[in-house]
Structure 1
Amino acid sequence: MIPRLSLCLAAALVALAPHPAAAQQKQSFNFEFSEKNGICSVGIPAGAQGLKVEFTVRVSDGNTNVSMHNIDGEIVNAALDAGRKPKLALVFDGKRRHDLEWGEYVAGFTYRAVGGWDDTAKANRALEELKSSGAVTFVADRESWGPISLQAPGMAYGLLDDCVKRTAAKQAAEAGSAQGFTVQNAGEQYEIGANSGTTPLTRGEKVMCFAHWVALLTMHDNNANDRFWSRLPADLGPASAEAMAQDWAISLRQDIGEDEAAAARMERELQTKTEAQYQKIQAAQTPEELGRFFRTLGTCEF
């Protein structure tokens, strides 16, 4: 999930669509969010006594933990005294159960149950539930807490996903990703693409141009203090990237016309391809990979 993607789509696609006449009632949400030391976490209050379920992701390796905070100390102490480790699970919407691969009780300033997965694929499947589920129940042996309202399907997932991508981009920049590729080289590769004589005309090419410019814009957002990304020329700067992304989205919308069903399909296609392109650019490790990215940007001109 790319933060700038929704903004560009809203400006270029949604803004051109008919607006509903009725005003929607505002909703308030209550999440505890943390982003530090390469770790992203989202806590969701679970009623009285400070109960809270928390999802935590360590970005460097995808390690994912889930914890239930401020549970009854007697439960924790009894298990610790017996040397018993709990079997933990998450149940979404009362139907879909995901067993954690390990679990333990922790006693300290607060009492909590915490667990996770060694298998990243299993962890990801559980996190995917946050996209569409309305509630989760935390289970520890015979004890359970929930159902806990997720408040708005997809919101907790979005907070985690945005944080993971920001942190991963920062870590890649700090690690010297694509060492040897300079600001000057970026501009030169862009000019090579612009002078190649190819002008994208098909819908598929326009979609990829949109995806490339949003990827560039998001790299700017996530690396504002990085020397490379902050010193690119104006043609490759954030203002230009945002304008180009919106221009391509508007061009696509004009191709579609007033067909709202087609516009919805287009939005999904843009989201999917932009996510994939951003992940590819974020993972670029060689000058050649970044060079190809900037050359492609050069072909995406009106």
Structure 2
Amino acid sequence: MSIAFALGLALSPALALQSLTIVDGPKPDANGMAVDYGNGVCRVSVFGTDGDGEQIRAEFSRRLRDGNLGVSLYGPFIRKFRQADPDANYPVTVVFDTGSSAPSRSGGYDVGGFEEYAWAGWGPGAASDATYAALKGASSFSVEMDGNSYGPFTWTGTGAVWTALDDCETDNS
């Protein structure tokens, strides 16, 4: 067996994976949302677009033991931030269609690992509670981070994200 042939056989699986498209995350239901529960956390994903018109997913999460609320953004846009300092705190604000907004306590980029995303958290207590309450009257929101705006993220039904998180909490408490 020639070295070139052996090398070709060894590389063929790696080359085949380069053309593989991996579908990330949950798929929206008829209302435009995807609900998930695991490890004591309720998650509701909604979908929108980035500045390049590519689909991205925003996932609100609520930890049941203390009400800590967070939002994560998943999509192709994250490639632009692979050099971001993972220890830096980036300001993040969620802007609701009701006119209210919610600046997070912390935010950042989780890049370079198996799953890459931008995130924000409000911490347990008043800030999470206020942001959670703002979801109750909302029909859409956008996320502003590091000088960029993502969304709007929309779904069917005013307050449906809040209702989905509340139902998840009731079902899993």
The residue that corresponds to 1:149 in the other structure is 154
Give the secondary-structure state (helix, strand or coil) at the position aligned to 1:78. Answer: coil
2:107 to 103, 108, 112: 103
Percent identity (aligned):
25
Q: Following TM superposition, by how much is the alpha carbon of 1:150 offset from its aligned partner in structure 2, in angstroms?
A: 3.3
Please give the alpha-carbon distance, in whole angstroms, between the structure 1 residues aligned to 2:169 and 2:98.
28
37-46 or 88-97, which moves further after superposition?
88-97
1:62 to 58, 67, 73: 67
Structure whose CA Rg is larger: 1
Map Cα deviations across residues 71-111 of structure 1 (whole Å, 9 max, x no partner).
52343223228x54311110011732210001110113443
Give the secondary-structure state (helix, strand or coil) at the position aligned to 1:65. Answer: strand
Residues 135, 167 of structure 1: CA spacing in aligned structure 2 closer, same or farther, 3 A cutoff? same
Map Cα deviations across residues 235-284 of structure 1 (whole Å, 9 max, x no partner).
xxxxxxxxxxxxxxxxxxxxxxxxxxxxxxxxxxxxxxxxxxxxxxxxxx
Give the secondary-structure state (helix, strand or coil) at the position aligned to 2:84. Answer: helix
1:38 to 28, 37, 40: 40
Give the secondary-structure state (helix, strand or coil) at the position aligned to 2:65. Answer: coil
Please give the alpha-carbon distance, in whole angstroms, between the structure 1 residues aligned to 2:153 and 2:55.
13
Q: Is the 8 A contact 2:32 2:154 kept in 1?
A: no
The residue that corresponds to 1:289 in the other structure is none
Q: Where in structure 2 are there 5+ consecutive unaligned residues?
A: 1-29
Q: Following TM superposition, by how much is the alpha carbon of 1:37 offset from its aligned partner in structure 2, in angstroms?
A: 2.1
Larger helix percent: 1
Q: Is the 8 A contact 2:98 2:138 kept in 1?
A: no
Please give the alpha-carbon distance, in whole angstroms, between the structure 1 residues aligned to 2:69 and 2:42.
10
Please give the alpha-carbon distance, in whole angstroms, between the structure 1 residues aligned to 2:90 and 2:79.
14
Give the secondary-structure state (helix, strand or coil) at the position aligned to 1:147. Answer: strand
The residue that corresponds to 1:239 in the other structure is none
Please give the alpha-carbon distance, in whole angstroms, between the structure 1 residues aligned to 2:118 and 2:139.
22
Map Cα deviations across residues 103-141 of structure 1 (whole Å, 9 max, x no partner).
110113443111111242211111112221122011112
TM-score by length of 2: 0.72
Please give the alpha-carbon distance, in whole angstroms, between the structure 2 residues aligned to 1:29 and 1:114.
24
Q: Does 1:126 align with 2:128?
A: no
Give the secondary-structure state (helix, strand or coil) at the position aligned to 1:123. Answer: helix
Residues 120, 111 of structure 1: CA spacing in aligned structure 2 closer, same or farther, 3 A cutoff? same
Give matches, 1:249-268, under 5 Å: none
- Give aligned pairs, total: 140
2:141 to 98, 111, 136: 136
